Every structure is written in structure tokens, then in C-alpha cells.
Amino acid sequence: MTELTRPVTRKVTTHRGETLVVTLTPEGLVIREPRRRSGFVLPYGVAFMQAVRLQVEADRREKAAAKKAKRLGKR
């Protein structure tokens, strides 16, 4: 794996069709709108914990839906 030693910037399109500029730095992600100077810094640890939270919530919803379907299927 390559060590991140200097910032890497890319333009991305979100699922809503919005264009954002994402910069990977050794400190974390910097997200901003194109042609804007101010950005939002998201440390890697915070991004990882948010991703874990979202996955756990999705797993719980899926499990609850399966349990409900099983319960409704027995009637």
C-alpha cells in the first residue's frame, strides 16, 4: 500500500448529482464545493466510526425487517 505523503485532490459526483472536490491529506478528508475555498475537514477516525455506525444501523433494520416478515408469514 502506498503511503499518503502529500494531498491528492479529485472531483466526484454524489448520488444526488452534486459535484464535490475531495482532498485526501495525511490528517483526513477535506470536502468542498468546486470553485469554493472553504472546505470541511473530516478526520479519518471520525469517517471510519460514522461508516461503522451506518453499517450497524443498516444491519439492524435488515434484521428487524426479516423478523417482521417471518412473524407475519406465520399467520
**Would you kindly state where each structural domain of the chain is located, as residue ranges?**
8-73
Identify the band that residue 75 occupies on the pLDDT scale cut at 50, 70 and 90.
low
- Interval 22-41 mean pLDDT: 95
What confidence tens digit (pLDDT) does each residue in 33-51 have?
A: 999 999 999 999 999 999 9
For residue 10, give the C-alpha cell. 479529485
Per-residue confidence (pLDDT) for residue 74, from 0 to 100:
66
Residues 7 and 24: beta-carbon distance below 8 Å: yes
When pLDDT is cut at 50, 70 and 90, the band that residue 73 belongs to is: confident
Its pTM surpasses 0.75: no
User: Can you tell me the mean pLDDT for 49-64?
Assistant: 96
* Residue 27 cell numbers, joined: 490528517
